Structure 1
């Protein structure tokens, strides 16, 4: 689970800005017993569900994109040392354009709490540090990497707590380019070091920014080939029934794909390596499926069932299924899923049930939702301390605000407070006189 994310000189974040995912001193509610909004990891209460709110252009997507940047920097390797890195410093300060960016993350893996920092610009990773956090006052250094400008070489200081052999240290040091991370070398050299392999797995699989529209239900919905999948399918169909859809079940059928003859002929002319790459890209060697749903018709649902292809279902029903697939992935893989700029077409009572399902079933997983849809705050599972606001000042610098619990009674409407009272400048300020003037000008133009 992710405890915090900090960025410096990254897009609209000039100064060090931290997005915390820890629970505040929210008073216990009856729902917390079954649908607890946080998970306690290494004595830290980490929120399972977080909302990131703010006006258009306030920096919601930018701060969450730091997680994608982190994954890119940490696990992917550049083959040449002159290959450029993705570098997006604060644009409105000349000094920032020539200063490295920094991302810091505090995260939990099993019973350990870690701090990782990376500092980079368009061509060099200048610093990289990994620590284990033992307590509020105690941190144990595991490794520190820096770039030696004089020798044009990346140096690494592995600490004793890493328990890394001389051979492993030599392989990593000799393989490391100035634009690659220490952790990325794990994949390229096949080093089997428990701690480094664990870190690599976290950055590769521990978090992901997802778009529900990218979920292929024909492939992602479970079949009945294993006992686990049978039970999962039963839960999914049961949930659909519990929220008053009339879908009883579905069938997953294997289909054969007819690829154009021109494509197949062209592939034969390619070298074997390019053929393999193209087959993998088109997923030609994977099974393809289609889904049919079955609806109950009339009162006698046992004998009257109607079949309907999933493709013909409503957008709302398909979104329910996609969200169930994503929530299951987060829960099963103990993963952090980020839904950026999420605007749901799911009926609100149903969406509330989906989020309750996630909170009730998850232990070490998180759902972070960036949204402009303030109606989500009406849900009974939404905690006052789970909301983060992104706000920009007059110099285009973004920062994070949280609700001061003392200013908002626990029984007050969060939706009303956030959507009507512009306490955190999360709402656009409308210039009505200017608007009326522009409307008048436009009418003159179109006469």
Structure 2
């Protein structure tokens, strides 16, 4: 579970920003919070929504999460010459030269961790990891770069070979990534939070092919059946059949080199067939009168396709206790379908593994006190110098009975576009 995430000098954000999934003392919608025995002093939020004008930084917040995840997973394989693809705030001459900073506070296997790093495109300047078993801080390692040289300090709490790991850690590689790659069990545990628990998707770019391939798994198939019934898509059931791999006949006027290529593919397909490789035919059965009528995926609406594609990361998150962050969740989806997705995460009887959902949206209909607590609603806005900021609805102390959607559209909380007036002069496109 994610407790909070801080970042500084990353793309549109110049100053340090923090998103917090720590619940306030508000007693409303207590089911939207997570209580843990070993975190007696705090509760965590099950979901977190970000509003803001276009180009205000909503997507950048999620990009920051994804950037960190990617760097942790991949940087152990970076060559010494390989750069870190990170962009600082560019509208300030000093910020261009400064490192980009990130820090996470999270829970993995019932232990709280604090992990962070400062990087430039050329090197990791700082990196640190602290664990809090039974609430007591233990600094596992600290890394500082001075005059191009890495300096490490370790506590006795970090076990295993360290000198070899230092030698293997290049200037743009995270020590956490290297340590996990070479099987340090303590670092691997933290690494797995990033690689297995923190998952991001862009709703408009999810590959439906992944969904179709996953349908071959019986447990996922049963989950999808329940998911489509829950979402009221008008689909009564799903039919899945395996078929032999097929290749169309080659036209007689096909060039010889292409013919040979197709013959090679045909031979390969026959080999795969003998080894049990099959293609899947997925049909969606709609109840029309007393009959079930099969529809192919291409026959379904764009909204249905997107929801089906989203079902894979949603089901994975709920069955694996993941933190799922979704960019553009309402693309092609009806607001009530988005609300049904939110309800999956906010229902403790369904979300038994305490998964968390973070997403951005423009959908004002979700700004409803029956859906979200006030501490779950956040906004992004740019200041006069072009720097983005993220802040909580709680900063405005809204009344409990306040109409949040109306207040937002009236500009009470900021984070809306400034729309000027068109010139008063008559515009006649027919005149020259």
Q: Indicate how the Cα distance of structure 1 residues 407 and 85 shifts in structure 2: closer, same or farther if over 3 A, else same.
A: closer
C-alpha separation between the residues in 2 aligned to 1:170 and 1:380?
Answer: 55
**Residue 246 of structure 1 aligns with which residue?**
234
Q: 1:411 aligns with which of 389, 401, 416?
A: 401
Residues 352-386 of structure 1, C-alpha deviation per residue, up to 9 Å, x if partnerless?
Answer: 23321232222321111111222222373222210
1:157 matched to 2:145:
no
Contact 1:218 1:290 in 2 (8 A): no
C-alpha separation between the residues in 2 aligned to 1:321 and 1:416?
Answer: 32
Residues 63-91 of structure 1, C-alpha deviation per residue, up to 9 Å, x if partnerless?
Answer: 22111221232221344212211131111
**Residue 197 of structure 2 aligns with which residue?**
206
**Residue 37 of structure 1 aligns with which residue?**
32
Give structure 2 stretches of 5+ with no counterpart: 251-256, 265-275
Contact 1:120 1:126 in 2 (8 A): yes
The structural deviation recorded for 1:263 is 10
C-alpha separation between the residues in 2 aligned to 1:84 and 1:341?
Answer: 29
SS in 2 for 1:76: helix
**Residue 381 of structure 2 aligns with which residue?**
391
SS in 1 for 2:308: helix
C-alpha separation between the residues in 2 aligned to 1:22 and 1:311?
Answer: 42
**Residue 194 of structure 1 aligns with which residue?**
185
Contact 1:75 1:181 in 2 (8 A): no
Where do 1:138-287 residues align within 5 Å?
Answer: 139-149=137-147, 152-162=148-158, 164-165=159-160, 168-186=161-179, 188=181, 191-217=182-208, 219-220=210-211, 223=215, 226=218, 228-229=219-220, 231-240=222-231, 243=232, 245-255=233-243, 256=245, 258=247, 262=258, 265=261
C-alpha separation between the residues in 1 aligned to 2:263 and 2:374?
Answer: 57
Residues 23-79 of structure 1, C-alpha deviation per residue, up to 9 Å, x if partnerless?
Answer: 2222234xx4xxx21223442322111111111221111122111221232221344
Q: Indicate how the Cα distance of structure 1 residues 263 and 83 shifts in structure 2: closer, same or farther if over 3 A, else same.
A: farther
C-alpha separation between the residues in 2 aligned to 1:111 and 1:429?
Answer: 45
C-alpha separation between the residues in 1 aligned to 2:7 and 2:395?
Answer: 25
Where do 1:127-146 residues align within 5 Å?
Answer: 127-133=126-132, 139-146=137-144
**So what's the TM-score if we normalise by structure 1?**
0.82
Contact 1:295 1:307 in 2 (8 A): yes
Q: Indicate how the Cα distance of structure 1 residues 96 and 353 shifts in structure 2: closer, same or farther if over 3 A, else same.
A: closer
Where do 1:334-345 residues align within 5 Å?
Answer: 334-345=321-332
**Residue 280 of structure 2 aligns with which residue?**
289
1:427 matched to 2:422:
no
Q: 2:302 aligns with which of 309, 315, 319?
A: 315
Contact 2:323 2:358 in 1 (8 A): yes
The structural deviation recorded for 1:197 is 0.9
Contact 1:218 1:289 in 2 (8 A): no
C-alpha separation between the residues in 1 aligned to 2:128 and 2:278?
Answer: 43
Contact 1:60 1:390 in 2 (8 A): yes
Contact 2:378 2:390 in 1 (8 A): yes
Q: Using the TM superposition, name which of 53-62 and 69-78 deviates more.
A: 69-78
**Residue 58 of structure 1 aligns with which residue?**
56
Q: Indicate how the Cα distance of structure 1 residues 79 and 355 shifts in structure 2: closer, same or farther if over 3 A, else same.
A: closer
Count of residue pairs brought into register by the alignment = 407
Give structure 1 stretches of 5+ with no counterpart: 269-284
Q: Indicate how the Cα distance of structure 1 residues 93 and 286 shifts in structure 2: closer, same or farther if over 3 A, else same.
A: farther
Q: Indicate how the Cα distance of structure 1 residues 79 and 446 shifts in structure 2: closer, same or farther if over 3 A, else same.
A: farther
Q: Indicate how the Cα distance of structure 1 residues 216 and 68 shifts in structure 2: closer, same or farther if over 3 A, else same.
A: closer
C-alpha separation between the residues in 1 aligned to 2:180 and 2:277?
Answer: 25
C-alpha separation between the residues in 1 aligned to 2:16 and 2:397?
Answer: 26
Alpha-carbon RMSD: 3.1
Contact 1:220 1:325 in 2 (8 A): yes
Residues 149-192 of structure 1, C-alpha deviation per residue, up to 9 Å, x if partnerless?
Answer: 2xx43232221111x22xx212211111111011221454xx33
Residues 173-214 of structure 1, C-alpha deviation per residue, up to 9 Å, x if partnerless?
Answer: 1111111011221454xx332211111111112212202344
C-alpha separation between the residues in 1 aligned to 2:418 and 2:325?
Answer: 28
Residues 400-427 of structure 1, C-alpha deviation per residue, up to 9 Å, x if partnerless?
Answer: 221238742333322212222x123211
Contact 1:114 1:130 in 2 (8 A): yes
**So what's the TM-score if we normalise by structure 2?**
0.84
SS in 2 for 1:95: helix
**Residue 277 of structure 1 aligns with which residue?**
none
